[in-house]
Amino acid sequence: MPRTRLAPPGHSQIKLADALKTLGNIQAKHKRWMAFEPSTSGHGSVLHPHPVYSIRLNRFLEGQPLSATLKKVGWIYFLRDSGTTLACAEVSVISGKHKNARLSEGPFVKKAFNLIERVEDDSRIRRRPHELRFLRLESIHLFALWLRVNQRVEYFVPVTSTGAVLRVGEWISRRDFTKALRSEGQRILAAQERMSHLLKIRQG
């Protein structure tokens, strides 16, 4: 069975179209602004649109369940132009409103896209209806795909490695992901606090 595709909100798609139009105008004057060239007749190829969530880390480390600390912060779209150049657009959500889109390209975009293509073809979910989401926790440099089959079956697949358990491409259950994330979050924050303390000592 195919993936359950979450339809991006209309306002998000409007912001995406506005961003691509603006990019087209910029590239008319600055050819090297980006390698990606948006179509003049539409979006071109829009691939794997999905929501992106952040984690309120302090609440999570205080012991709140993962679900209680999640916040939807935007929608991500992968874009491919007629020359097959790949780019990524993120339309942020702030206070429930869709804001301007941020466009990017490069190694991380290709890495994330290739990982999505690979996991979508994996036998664990290929024939099961599921939702694709993206989880981001910038304070500890964690980016992960979130594959939700149902309330009991979820997988998290890191796009970036963080610690010994949260490794790129590893399929991790919700239980193990939560445990590893809490441990890694505590370790990194403790290290940051030690560094801050040392800097204050050196500064007198």
Residue 166 lies in a domain: yes
Residue 2 lies in a domain: no
pLDDT at 133 over 90: yes
Residue 4 lies in a domain: no
Distances (CA, A) of 49 to 8, 89, 134, 173: 7, 9, 10, 23
The confidence score (pLDDT) of residue 198 equals 83
Residue 28 lies in a domain: yes
pLDDT digits (tens, 9 = 90+) for 50-77: 999 999 988 999 999 999 999 999 999 9
The confidence score (pLDDT) of residue 1 equals 46
Tokens of 201: 């000592």
Looking at the 3D structure of the chain, how many domains does it have? 1
- What is this structure's pTM? 0.85
Overall average pLDDT of the 154-165 stretch: 87
Overall average pLDDT of the 115-124 stretch: 94
Residue 22 lies in a domain: yes
Overall average pLDDT of the 94-99 stretch: 88
Residue 1 lies in a domain: no
DSSP H or E run through 173: strand 172-173
pLDDT at 4 over 80: no
Residue-range definition of the domain harbouring residue 135: 10-202
Residue 5 lies in a domain: no
Residue 33 lies in a domain: yes
Give the residue with greater pLDDT, 139 vs 108: 108
**Highest mean pLDDT (candidates 35-39, 52-56, 159-163, 199-203):** 52-56
The confidence score (pLDDT) of residue 2 equals 57
Overall average pLDDT of the 182-201 stretch: 82
Give the residue with greater pLDDT, 118 vs 26: 118
Rounded distance, CA 11 to CA 74, Å?
Answer: 11
